[in-house]
Amino acid sequence: MLGGVLLKSLWLSSVLALVLGGLALISQGPTPTIEASDIHELERLETVWNVAHEQGDADALDALWADDLEVAVPHMPLLTKAGALSFARSGRMKFLSYQTSEIRVRVYDNAAVVSGRLQRTRSMNGREISDDWRFTKVYVREAHKWRVVSFHASEVA
C-alpha cells in the first residue's frame, strides 16, 4: 500500500512538472518560425529588386536571378536570364520609378510565390511610358539563398 501511494505521488509530481513546464513555454509566446524569417527575407528581396531596377543595377539583378530565369512581360518576347541581363546592361531603358504594392508572400518549403501590383515609369527612346501590372515571381531556395526562377506580369484590367 505504501508503494502504491509513493508511485501515485511520483506520477502526480511528474504530471504537475509537465503542466508547469508547458505553461512556462506558453507564457513566453510564440517563437519565430522559419517561414516568418523566409517571408521577411523575401520582402527584403522585393525591395532589392525594385531599387536595382530604378538604379539600373544589373549586378544586383544578376545576384537575384536564378540561372534558369524566365521573364514574361507584356509586349516583350520571353526572356532568359542572359537576355534579361543583356537588356538591363544595354541602358536602352531607364526606370524613373518602380513601385510595388499589395505584396503577398507564400512559402512552400524551398519555393515561394510573391505576387502583387507593379506601377513603374520608364524612359525609352526619349519617351516616358507608364505600366500598371499585376506580377507573380517564383523564388527557389538554392544553397540557403532565395533566387527568382520566374517573373510574369500582365496589365491591370
Q: How many domains does the chain have?
A: 2
Residues 6+ apart with CB under 8 A from 129: 121, 122, 123
Average pLDDT, the chain: 85
User: Each residue of 46-67: pLDDT tens digit?
Assistant: 999 999 999 999 999 999 999 9
In whole angstroms, what separates CA 60 from the centre of its chain? 16
Q: Please tell me whether residues 13 and 47 are part of one structural domain.
A: no
Q: Please tell me whether residues 78 and 10 are part of one structural domain.
A: no
- Here the CATH number for the domain that contains residue 80 is 3.10.450.50
Q: Please tell me whether residues 14 and 45 are part of one structural domain.
A: no
Q: Please tell me whether residues 51 and 26 are part of one structural domain.
A: no
CB atoms < 10 A from the CB of 155, how many?
Answer: 11
Q: Please tell me whether residues 128 and 62 are part of one structural domain.
A: yes
CB 116 within 8 A of CB 128: no
Show the domain range for 12.
Answer: 1-31
Q: Please tell me whether residues 12 and 78 are part of one structural domain.
A: no
User: Each residue of 91-111: pLDDT tens digit?
Assistant: 888 999 999 999 999 999 999
Q: Please tell me whether residues 118 and 131 are part of one structural domain.
A: yes
Residue 16, CB-side half-sphere exposure with 13 Å CA sphere: 6
- Whether 14 shows a pLDDT value over 60: the answer reads no
Residue 45, CB-side half-sphere exposure with 13 Å CA sphere: 25
Q: What percent of the chain has pLDDT over 70?
A: 78
